Amino acid sequence: MKYETVIGLEVHVELATESKIFCSCSAKFGGGPNEHVCPACSGMPGMLPVVNKRVVDLGMTAGMMLNCHINRTTTFDKKSYYYPDLPGAYQTTQWFAPVAVNGLVEIETSSGKKGIRIKQIHMEEDAGKLVHDIMPDTTHVDFNRTSVPLIEIVSQPDLSSAEEVIAYLERLHSLLRFAKVSDCRWEQGSMRCDVNLSVRPEGSTKLGVRTEMKNMNSLAAIARAIEYETARHIDALEGGTEVLVQETRRWDDVRGKSYAMRTKETAGDYHYFPDPNVMPVVIDDEWYAEIKKSLPELPEVKRARYITEYGLSEYDAGLLTESRALCDCFEAALAVSGKAKDAANWLLSDTMTILNAKKMTSDMLKINGAALGELINLVSEGTVGRANGRKILAAMFDDESISPAKYAEENGYIVSRDTSLIESVVAAAIAADPKAVADYKSGKEKAIMSIFGRCMKELRGNCDPQTLREILIDAINRI
């Protein structure tokens, strides 16, 4: 018999806010244990939560990016469960009126385009972290992550293979980073995914028994887990030794196997009820319009525009539009310099080299795009040499406020227009290397390069290479 896999995903994404969802504690990753904690987020009785407006902004942004309907009155509910990393013994989340519902995400795989429906996006607080490896037989609890704002993106069970799941997750990753909703770092847990999977005979409309694998945080592991779980379900359906039950399972990526963790709770087990301490959030027309206006141009629209409007190659346009930070920097540099190809080159070669050396990703790029435009002008008009331009760029990485023109002046990076200076440097270099001169004269054209290099070094790079070359050849010919 032929089978089909039915997969729905719940994707948790930590929002890029400064503070937590209901208090003013820092929401940043890291910090010493329990450094970002106050009575409200550590669940002390009598503390009243206040909704962080930025969380709602980003929840709406995510909803609009995924083509959802935005609920103009959105409310928070308590989801009851007891666990030591959850100090209030309930999670404040959204059940009855989540911020966004009924969306659609288009994905592309080897078999073409497909729409994946979004059931809802809800805002909620994260739990704390249990640390088991500090002392034997003792567990520590760190509440830094408690009440860090999340959105949970719940898809309909429209996915049917690991390939589709990866395409869907990559699409979410790109859209949410572009809209600056989240940095979406799998490795830091700011993006993680629960995989709900069942298998049924092909063509059947009835869903099979569903299992859930929680907190997956790498695309490769997700793909392996889906393959394994699909095979396990088919084996059970074909009368293997196992009987399928609805349950939560843990994926062990080292062993390449999933293990039963606990039988699956149903919504009823959580006793969802409206949180009486959190006021409903009403999104008026003005607020709605403000968020709508702030949405970024989609990456694929930008890519097409970079090709048609600015004449970039498909390759360069593709690389630039992988990162919102690169796009922003490119557009700002272009606005100042009007030189699209130069701006792309400076970003995709010189800037990338520095990023790689610093082990940074292009998303972390923070150089001032307008200043880059200014630098491009200085180099292309010949005021600053290319090599010294790179040094200025490196300095711009460490200090966003640098003005390239002023920095070039202060550090002696202005190209000399003084030909008598160049002529004297050339004369000294020729006198210092008679062998190279003789070689050049006997037809070895490349021999001139060592003298050229010596001159450039003496002039600290502040010389137009073409001018230097002409003066040098002229001087040798006159010997």
Positions touching Zn ion (CB under 5 A) are 23, 25, 38, 40-41
Cβ–Cβ < 8 Å for 417, 387? no
- Decide: residue 33, CB within 10 A, 0-12 exposed, 13-18 middle, 19+ buried: middle
Query: Restricting to residues 325-384, which ones interact with Mn ion according to CB under 5 A?
Result: none
Q: Within 13 Å, how many C-alpha atoms sit on residue 71's CB side?
A: 22
- E strand or H helix at 369, and its extent? helix 369-380
Cα distances from 428 to residues 422, 432, 434, 465, in angstroms, run 10, 6, 11, 18
Question: In terms of CB distance, is 124 or 164 closer to Mn ion?
Answer: 124
Question: In terms of CB distance, is 3 or 186 closer to Mn ion?
Answer: 186
The partner in contact with residue 38, picked from Zn ion, Mn ion, none with C-beta cut-offs of 5 to 8 angstroms by kind, is Zn ion
Question: In terms of CB distance, is 152 or 227 closer to Mn ion?
Answer: 152
Name every residue whose Cβ is closer than 8 Å to that of residue 381 and which is 6 or more positions away in sequence: none
Name every residue whose Cβ is closer than 8 Å to that of residue 151 and which is 6 or more positions away in sequence: 12, 13, 15, 58, 59, 62, 99, 121, 122, 123, 124, 181
Shortest distance, position 123 Cβ to Zn ion, whole Å: 17
The partner in contact with residue 41, picked from Mn ion, Zn ion, none with C-beta cut-offs of 5 to 8 angstroms by kind, is Zn ion
The partner in contact with residue 25, picked from Zn ion, Mn ion, none with C-beta cut-offs of 5 to 8 angstroms by kind, is Zn ion
- E strand or H helix at 293, and its extent? helix 285-294
Tell which one of 4, 85, 152, 458 touches Mn ion (CB under 5 A): 152
85 binds Mn ion (CB under 5 A): no
Cα distances from 153 to residues 78, 122, 291, 366, 373, in angstroms, run 18, 7, 19, 29, 39
The partner in contact with residue 355, picked from Mn ion, Zn ion, none with C-beta cut-offs of 5 to 8 angstroms by kind, is none
The partner in contact with residue 101, picked from Zn ion, Mn ion, none with C-beta cut-offs of 5 to 8 angstroms by kind, is none
Shortest distance, position 49 Cβ to Mn ion, whole Å: 17
Distance CA 232, CA 28 (A): 40
Q: Which stretch binds Mn ion (CB under 5 A): 27-35, 60-68, 145-153, 279-287?
A: 145-153
**Sequence letter at residue 356:** N
Question: In terms of CB distance, is 20 or 232 closer to Zn ion?
Answer: 20
- Select the residue whose beta carbon is closest to Mn ion and give its number: 152
Question: In terms of CB distance, is 85 or 152 closer to Mn ion?
Answer: 152
Q: Which stretch binds Mn ion (CB under 5 A): 1-9, 149-157, 229-237, 383-391?
A: 149-157
Contact positions vs Mn ion (CB under 5 A) = 152
